[in-house]
Protein backbone atom coordinates (compact mmCIF):
# COMPACT_ATOMS: atom_id res chain seq x y z
CA UNK A 1 0.00 0.00 0.00
CA UNK A 2 1.24 3.52 -0.78
CA UNK A 3 2.49 5.71 2.04
CA UNK A 4 0.76 8.98 2.78
CA UNK A 5 2.77 11.99 1.60
CA UNK A 6 5.47 12.74 4.12
CA UNK A 7 4.50 9.74 6.30
CA UNK A 8 6.96 7.13 7.50
CA UNK A 9 6.77 3.73 9.13
CA UNK A 10 7.69 3.45 12.78
CA UNK A 11 7.43 0.77 15.43
CA UNK A 12 5.72 -2.61 15.08
CA UNK A 13 2.28 -3.46 16.34
CA UNK A 14 1.23 -7.04 17.00
CA UNK A 15 -2.11 -8.17 15.61
CA UNK A 16 -3.71 -11.53 16.37
CA UNK A 17 -5.63 -13.59 13.82
CA UNK A 18 -7.58 -16.82 14.13
CA UNK A 19 -6.37 -19.48 11.71
CA UNK A 20 -8.38 -22.61 10.91
CA UNK A 21 -6.28 -25.53 9.58
CA UNK A 22 -7.70 -28.90 8.53
CA UNK A 23 -6.55 -32.08 6.81
CA UNK A 24 -8.84 -34.63 5.17
CA UNK A 25 -8.00 -37.76 3.22
CA UNK A 26 -11.15 -38.22 1.13
CA UNK A 27 -10.13 -41.61 -0.28
CA UNK A 28 -10.59 -40.76 -3.96
CA UNK A 29 -14.29 -40.06 -3.45
CA UNK A 30 -15.69 -37.13 -5.44
CA UNK A 31 -17.91 -34.73 -3.50
CA UNK A 32 -21.58 -34.61 -4.35
CA UNK A 33 -23.25 -31.30 -5.18
CA UNK A 34 -25.20 -31.40 -1.91
CA UNK A 35 -22.28 -32.37 0.37
CA UNK A 36 -22.68 -30.38 3.59
CA UNK A 37 -19.39 -28.84 4.77
CA UNK A 38 -20.81 -26.53 7.44
CA UNK A 39 -19.94 -28.77 10.38
CA UNK A 40 -16.40 -29.40 9.12
CA UNK A 41 -15.72 -25.70 8.48
CA UNK A 42 -17.41 -24.72 11.74
CA UNK A 43 -19.35 -21.93 10.07
CA UNK A 44 -21.67 -21.41 13.03
CA UNK A 45 -18.82 -19.74 14.91
CA UNK A 46 -18.04 -17.52 11.90
CA UNK A 47 -15.05 -16.03 13.68
CA UNK A 48 -12.02 -17.20 11.71
CA UNK A 49 -9.78 -14.93 9.68
CA UNK A 50 -7.94 -17.53 7.60
CA UNK A 51 -8.79 -21.06 6.44
CA UNK A 52 -6.04 -23.41 5.23
CA UNK A 53 -7.56 -26.67 4.00
CA UNK A 54 -5.53 -29.65 2.85
CA UNK A 55 -6.80 -32.79 1.14
CA UNK A 56 -5.24 -36.10 0.23
CA UNK A 57 -6.51 -38.51 -2.41
CA UNK A 58 -8.99 -36.14 -4.04
CA UNK A 59 -8.52 -38.51 -6.99
CA UNK A 60 -7.73 -42.26 -6.82
CA UNK A 61 -3.96 -42.85 -6.78
CA UNK A 62 -3.97 -45.07 -9.88
CA UNK A 63 -1.26 -45.04 -12.56
CA UNK A 64 -3.39 -42.99 -14.94
CA UNK A 65 -3.78 -40.18 -12.40
CA UNK A 66 -0.19 -40.34 -11.11
CA UNK A 67 1.50 -40.41 -14.52
CA UNK A 68 -1.08 -38.56 -16.61
CA UNK A 69 -1.97 -34.87 -16.84
CA UNK A 70 -3.41 -33.10 -13.80
CA UNK A 71 -7.20 -33.25 -13.56
CA UNK A 72 -8.51 -30.07 -11.99
CA UNK A 73 -12.22 -30.83 -12.25
CA UNK A 74 -12.42 -32.35 -8.76
CA UNK A 75 -10.30 -29.69 -7.05
CA UNK A 76 -12.41 -27.00 -8.72
CA UNK A 77 -15.53 -28.66 -7.35
CA UNK A 78 -14.09 -28.82 -3.82
CA UNK A 79 -13.18 -25.12 -4.02
CA UNK A 80 -16.66 -24.26 -5.24
CA UNK A 81 -18.27 -26.13 -2.33
CA UNK A 82 -15.91 -24.48 0.16
CA UNK A 83 -16.60 -21.01 -1.21
CA UNK A 84 -20.34 -21.57 -1.19
CA UNK A 85 -20.20 -22.80 2.41
CA UNK A 86 -18.01 -20.00 3.74
CA UNK A 87 -19.99 -17.29 1.97
CA UNK A 88 -23.44 -18.76 2.47
CA UNK A 89 -26.08 -16.20 3.36
CA UNK A 90 -27.75 -16.72 6.70
CA UNK A 91 -30.67 -15.39 8.73
CA UNK A 92 -30.09 -12.04 10.38
CA UNK A 93 -28.30 -12.14 13.72
CA UNK A 94 -29.77 -8.79 14.83
CA UNK A 95 -32.04 -5.97 13.62
CA UNK A 96 -31.03 -2.40 12.74
CA UNK A 97 -33.52 0.48 12.26
CA UNK A 98 -33.11 2.31 8.94
CA UNK A 99 -34.68 5.79 8.84
CA UNK A 100 -34.66 5.87 5.03
CA UNK A 101 -36.58 2.62 4.82
CA UNK A 102 -38.89 3.45 7.71
CA UNK A 103 -38.35 0.19 9.56
CA UNK A 104 -36.04 -2.54 10.80
CA UNK A 105 -33.81 -4.54 8.49
CA UNK A 106 -31.90 -7.71 9.35
CA UNK A 107 -28.12 -7.54 9.40
CA UNK A 108 -25.85 -10.59 9.27
CA UNK A 109 -22.40 -10.47 10.83
CA UNK A 110 -21.01 -13.37 8.80
CA UNK A 111 -17.71 -12.55 7.15
CA UNK A 112 -17.02 -12.97 3.45
CA UNK A 113 -14.06 -15.03 2.30
CA UNK A 114 -11.92 -15.09 -0.82
CA UNK A 115 -9.70 -17.86 -2.19
CA UNK A 116 -6.22 -16.35 -2.37
CA UNK A 117 -4.36 -19.40 -3.70
CA UNK A 118 -4.83 -23.12 -4.24
CA UNK A 119 -2.73 -25.92 -5.73
CA UNK A 120 -3.21 -29.56 -6.67
CA UNK A 121 -0.54 -32.24 -7.11
CA UNK A 122 -2.26 -35.50 -8.15
CA UNK A 123 -4.26 -36.36 -5.00
CA UNK A 124 -2.95 -33.59 -2.73
CA UNK A 125 -4.89 -30.34 -2.85
CA UNK A 126 -4.39 -27.25 -0.67
CA UNK A 127 -6.58 -24.17 -0.71
CA UNK A 128 -6.19 -20.89 1.21
CA UNK A 129 -9.19 -18.69 2.02
CA UNK A 130 -8.98 -15.36 3.84
CA UNK A 131 -11.42 -12.71 4.96
CA UNK A 132 -12.19 -10.49 2.02
CA UNK A 133 -11.07 -7.36 3.87
CA UNK A 134 -7.80 -9.07 4.85
CA UNK A 135 -6.80 -10.19 1.36
CA UNK A 136 -5.16 -6.84 0.52
CA UNK A 137 -2.57 -7.51 3.23
CA UNK A 138 -1.54 -10.90 1.78
CA UNK A 139 1.63 -10.60 -0.28
CA UNK A 140 4.29 -12.72 -2.03
CA UNK A 141 2.24 -15.93 -2.44
CA UNK A 142 4.24 -18.91 -3.68
CA UNK A 143 3.82 -22.68 -4.05
CA UNK A 144 6.25 -25.59 -3.95
CA UNK A 145 5.37 -29.20 -4.81
CA UNK A 146 7.54 -32.19 -3.92
CA UNK A 147 6.94 -35.74 -5.13
CA UNK A 148 8.49 -38.47 -3.01
CA UNK A 149 6.37 -41.50 -3.88
CA UNK A 150 7.30 -44.40 -6.15
CA UNK A 151 11.03 -44.33 -7.00
CA UNK A 152 11.37 -41.40 -4.61
CA UNK A 153 10.00 -38.88 -7.08
CA UNK A 154 6.51 -39.74 -8.35
CA UNK A 155 3.73 -37.58 -7.00
CA UNK A 156 1.43 -40.20 -5.54
CA UNK A 157 3.02 -39.16 -2.22
CA UNK A 158 4.74 -35.95 -1.21
CA UNK A 159 3.75 -32.41 -0.29
CA UNK A 160 2.23 -29.17 -1.50
CA UNK A 161 3.45 -26.13 0.43
CA UNK A 162 1.97 -22.63 0.40
CA UNK A 163 3.96 -19.55 1.37
CA UNK A 164 2.69 -16.01 1.87
CA UNK A 165 3.24 -12.94 4.00
CA UNK A 166 0.52 -11.37 6.09
CA UNK A 167 1.57 -7.81 6.87
CA UNK A 168 5.23 -8.26 7.94
CA UNK A 169 5.07 -11.94 9.00
CA UNK A 170 5.80 -14.92 6.75
CA UNK A 171 3.71 -18.11 6.87
CA UNK A 172 4.34 -21.56 5.44
CA UNK A 173 1.72 -24.34 5.37
CA UNK A 174 2.93 -27.79 4.33
CA UNK A 175 0.29 -30.36 3.36
CA UNK A 176 1.75 -33.87 3.24
CA UNK A 177 0.85 -37.40 2.28
CA UNK A 178 3.67 -39.60 3.56
CA UNK A 179 4.56 -43.22 2.84
CA UNK A 180 1.89 -45.74 3.78
CA UNK A 181 2.30 -49.19 5.28
CA UNK A 182 1.57 -50.85 8.60
CA UNK A 183 4.58 -53.17 8.81
CA UNK A 184 7.29 -52.75 11.40
CA UNK A 185 9.93 -50.41 10.02
CA UNK A 186 7.62 -48.54 7.63
CA UNK A 187 7.92 -45.48 9.85
CA UNK A 188 11.49 -45.12 8.57
CA UNK A 189 10.10 -44.41 5.09
CA UNK A 190 7.78 -41.77 6.54
CA UNK A 191 10.72 -40.13 8.33
CA UNK A 192 12.65 -40.11 5.05
CA UNK A 193 9.73 -38.50 3.21
CA UNK A 194 9.54 -35.77 5.85
CA UNK A 195 13.25 -35.02 5.63
CA UNK A 196 13.07 -35.07 1.84
CA UNK A 197 10.25 -32.54 1.88
CA UNK A 198 12.18 -30.25 4.23
CA UNK A 199 15.34 -30.37 2.14
CA UNK A 200 13.82 -30.12 -1.35
CA UNK A 201 11.00 -27.61 -0.82
CA UNK A 202 12.08 -24.24 -2.17
CA UNK A 203 10.09 -21.10 -2.92
CA UNK A 204 10.82 -18.53 -5.58
CA UNK A 205 11.34 -14.96 -4.49
CA UNK A 206 11.23 -11.42 -5.73
CA UNK A 207 14.85 -10.33 -6.20
CA UNK A 208 14.04 -6.96 -4.64
CA UNK A 209 12.71 -8.48 -1.41
CA UNK A 210 14.50 -10.80 1.00
CA UNK A 211 11.93 -13.57 1.35
CA UNK A 212 12.35 -16.97 3.01
CA UNK A 213 13.03 -19.74 0.50
CA UNK A 214 12.97 -22.84 2.74
CA UNK A 215 10.22 -24.16 5.02
CA UNK A 216 12.11 -23.63 8.27
CA UNK A 217 13.06 -20.04 7.39
CA UNK A 218 9.47 -18.80 7.81
CA UNK A 219 8.11 -17.06 10.90
CA UNK A 220 5.06 -19.32 11.31
CA UNK A 221 5.08 -22.91 10.03
CA UNK A 222 2.30 -25.52 10.12
CA UNK A 223 2.66 -29.05 8.73
CA UNK A 224 -0.45 -31.18 8.33
CA UNK A 225 -1.83 -34.10 6.38
CA UNK A 226 -2.08 -37.87 6.24
CA UNK A 227 1.29 -38.54 7.83
CA UNK A 228 0.42 -42.25 7.97
CA UNK A 229 2.17 -43.04 11.27
CA UNK A 230 0.65 -46.10 12.93
CA UNK A 231 0.54 -47.73 16.37
CA UNK A 232 3.39 -50.14 17.15
CA UNK A 233 1.25 -52.88 18.64
CA UNK A 234 -0.35 -56.10 17.49
CA UNK A 235 -3.70 -55.72 15.75
CA UNK A 236 -5.48 -57.71 18.42
CA UNK A 237 -4.15 -55.64 21.30
CA UNK A 238 -4.83 -52.40 19.41
CA UNK A 239 -8.40 -53.47 18.82
CA UNK A 240 -8.94 -54.31 22.47
CA UNK A 241 -7.57 -50.95 23.65
CA UNK A 242 -9.59 -49.02 21.06
CA UNK A 243 -12.78 -50.74 22.17
CA UNK A 244 -12.00 -49.68 25.74
CA UNK A 245 -11.05 -46.16 24.53
CA UNK A 246 -7.71 -46.31 26.31
CA UNK A 247 -6.19 -43.56 24.18
CA UNK A 248 -3.30 -42.87 26.56
CA UNK A 249 -1.98 -46.44 26.34
CA UNK A 250 -2.30 -46.43 22.56
CA UNK A 251 -0.63 -43.03 22.21
CA UNK A 252 2.34 -44.30 24.18
CA UNK A 253 2.96 -46.60 21.19
CA UNK A 254 2.15 -44.01 18.53
CA UNK A 255 4.96 -44.01 15.97
CA UNK A 256 4.98 -40.28 15.35
CA UNK A 257 5.30 -39.44 19.02
CA UNK A 258 8.05 -42.03 19.42
CA UNK A 259 10.03 -40.80 16.41
CA UNK A 260 9.70 -37.22 17.64
CA UNK A 261 10.81 -38.09 21.19
CA UNK A 262 13.83 -39.98 19.82
CA UNK A 263 14.80 -37.04 17.62
CA UNK A 264 14.58 -39.04 14.41
CA UNK A 265 11.91 -36.81 12.85
CA UNK A 266 10.05 -33.57 13.62
CA UNK A 267 12.64 -32.47 16.15
CA UNK A 268 11.42 -29.27 17.81
CA UNK A 269 7.92 -29.46 16.32
CA UNK A 270 4.78 -29.21 18.47
CA UNK A 271 1.52 -31.14 18.49
CA UNK A 272 -1.51 -30.53 20.66
CA UNK A 273 -2.93 -33.10 23.05
CA UNK A 274 -4.85 -35.86 21.25
CA UNK A 275 -8.14 -36.51 23.03
CA UNK A 276 -10.04 -38.01 20.09
CA UNK A 277 -10.28 -41.56 18.77
CA UNK A 278 -8.09 -42.84 15.89
CA UNK A 279 -8.97 -41.29 12.54
CA UNK A 280 -8.23 -44.34 10.32
CA UNK A 281 -9.39 -46.77 8.99
CA UNK A 282 -13.21 -46.70 8.71
CA UNK A 283 -15.64 -48.44 6.45
CA UNK A 284 -17.14 -45.77 4.15
CA UNK A 285 -20.39 -44.25 5.43
CA UNK A 286 -19.90 -46.05 8.71
CA UNK A 287 -18.66 -45.63 12.27
CA UNK A 288 -17.08 -49.10 12.11
CA UNK A 289 -13.35 -49.51 11.89
CA UNK A 290 -12.06 -51.68 9.09
CA UNK A 291 -11.00 -54.53 11.33
CA UNK A 292 -14.61 -55.69 10.87
CA UNK A 293 -14.07 -55.84 7.11
CA UNK A 294 -13.27 -59.53 6.74
CA UNK A 295 -15.36 -60.85 3.92
CA UNK A 296 -16.43 -57.43 2.62
CA UNK A 297 -15.50 -57.10 -1.01
CA UNK A 298 -12.80 -54.53 -1.76
CA UNK A 299 -12.10 -53.66 1.88
CA UNK A 300 -8.81 -54.46 3.58
CA UNK A 301 -8.65 -54.98 7.32
CA UNK A 302 -6.48 -52.31 9.02
CA UNK A 303 -5.68 -51.61 12.66
CA UNK A 304 -6.88 -48.14 13.74
CA UNK A 305 -4.32 -45.33 13.91
CA UNK A 306 -3.96 -41.56 14.21
CA UNK A 307 -2.76 -41.09 10.64
CA UNK A 308 -4.09 -37.56 10.22
CA UNK A 309 -2.13 -34.94 12.16
CA UNK A 310 -1.39 -31.22 12.49
CA UNK A 311 1.94 -29.94 13.84
CA UNK A 312 3.50 -26.50 14.11
CA UNK A 313 6.90 -24.94 14.63
CA UNK A 314 8.17 -21.74 16.19
CA UNK A 315 6.86 -18.88 18.28
CA UNK A 316 3.80 -16.78 17.62
CA UNK A 317 1.34 -19.66 17.18
CA UNK A 318 -0.99 -20.78 19.96
CA UNK A 319 -3.21 -23.80 19.35
CA UNK A 320 -6.68 -23.33 20.81
CA UNK A 321 -8.42 -26.47 19.53
CA UNK A 322 -7.35 -29.83 18.10
CA UNK A 323 -10.09 -32.26 17.19
CA UNK A 324 -11.49 -34.63 14.63
CA UNK A 325 -14.63 -34.17 12.55
CA UNK A 326 -17.30 -36.77 11.94
CA UNK A 327 -18.07 -36.74 8.21
CA UNK A 328 -18.30 -40.35 7.01
CA UNK A 329 -17.36 -39.59 3.40
CA UNK A 330 -14.19 -41.71 3.36
CA UNK A 331 -12.14 -44.18 5.40
CA UNK A 332 -10.48 -41.25 7.23
CA UNK A 333 -11.94 -38.70 9.59
CA UNK A 334 -10.91 -35.10 8.98
CA UNK A 335 -8.82 -33.40 11.67
CA UNK A 336 -8.84 -29.66 12.36
CA UNK A 337 -6.94 -27.23 14.55
CA UNK A 338 -7.55 -23.60 15.41
CA UNK A 339 -4.58 -21.31 16.07
CA UNK A 340 -4.13 -17.77 17.25
CA UNK A 341 -1.34 -16.34 15.11
CA UNK A 342 0.61 -13.25 16.09
CA UNK A 343 1.46 -10.99 13.15
CA UNK A 344 3.81 -8.01 13.01
CA UNK A 345 2.27 -4.86 11.55
CA UNK A 346 4.21 -1.67 10.86
CA UNK A 347 2.71 1.44 12.40
CA UNK A 348 2.09 4.28 9.98
CA UNK A 349 3.17 7.46 11.75
CA UNK A 350 1.76 10.92 11.33
CA UNK A 351 4.07 13.07 9.12
CA UNK A 352 4.77 15.29 12.14
CA UNK A 353 5.81 12.23 14.14
CA UNK A 354 8.36 11.47 11.47
CA UNK A 355 9.59 15.08 11.54
CA UNK A 356 10.13 15.07 15.29
CA UNK A 357 11.87 11.70 15.22
CA UNK A 358 14.27 12.80 12.48
CA UNK A 359 15.32 16.13 14.14
CA UNK A 360 16.98 16.80 17.47
CA UNK A 361 15.63 19.38 19.93
CA UNK A 362 18.10 22.15 18.94
CA UNK A 363 17.06 21.78 15.28
CA UNK A 364 13.39 22.02 16.17
CA UNK A 365 13.96 25.17 18.32
CA UNK A 366 15.96 26.78 15.49
CA UNK A 367 13.30 25.96 12.85
CA UNK A 368 10.55 27.29 15.12
CA UNK A 369 12.46 30.54 15.72
CA UNK A 370 12.97 31.12 11.99
CA UNK A 371 9.27 30.45 11.31
CA UNK A 372 8.33 33.07 13.93
CA UNK A 373 10.66 35.62 12.34
CA UNK A 374 8.83 35.20 9.02
CA UNK A 375 5.39 35.80 10.49
Tens of pLDDT, residue by residue over 123-134, are: 999 999 999 999
Indicate the SS3 state at residue 289: strand
159 alpha carbon, distance to own chain's centre: 13
pLDDT in tens, 33-67: 999 999 999 998 768 999 999 999 999 999 988 88
Note whether residue 178 is domain-resident. yes
Give the predicted TM-score (pTM) of the model: 0.86
Looking at the domain assignment, is residue 98 inside a domain? no
Instruction: Give the pLDDT confidence score for residue 3 in this predicted structure.
Output: 36
Quote the number of domains for the chain.
Answer: 1
Identify whether 102 is part of a domain: no
CATH code, 363? 3.60.10.10
Boundaries of domain holding 158: 13-86+110-291+298-371
Q: Could you tell me the CA-to-CA distances from 312 to 12, 108, 223, 268, 309 in Å, in that order? A: 24, 34, 6, 9, 10
184 part of a folded domain:
yes
Q: Is residue 18 part of a domain?
A: yes
User: Is 198 among the domain residues?
Assistant: yes
Q: Residue 99 falls within a domain, yes or no?
A: no
Residue 28 in any domain: the answer is yes
> Cα 81 vs. chain centroid, distance in angstroms?
18
275-310 pLDDT per residue, tens: 999 999 999 899 999 875 554 555 667 889 999 999
Amino acid sequence: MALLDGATYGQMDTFKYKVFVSTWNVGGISPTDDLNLEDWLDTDRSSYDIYVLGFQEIVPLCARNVLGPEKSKISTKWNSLIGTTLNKSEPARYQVYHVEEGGYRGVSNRRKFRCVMSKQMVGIFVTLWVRDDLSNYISYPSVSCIGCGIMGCLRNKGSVSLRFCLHETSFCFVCCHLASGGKQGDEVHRNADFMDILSRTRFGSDSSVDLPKKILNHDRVVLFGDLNYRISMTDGKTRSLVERKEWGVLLDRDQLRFELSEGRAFDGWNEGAITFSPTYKYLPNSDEYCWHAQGRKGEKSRAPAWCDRILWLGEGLKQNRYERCESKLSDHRAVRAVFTAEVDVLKLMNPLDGFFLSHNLDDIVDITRRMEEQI
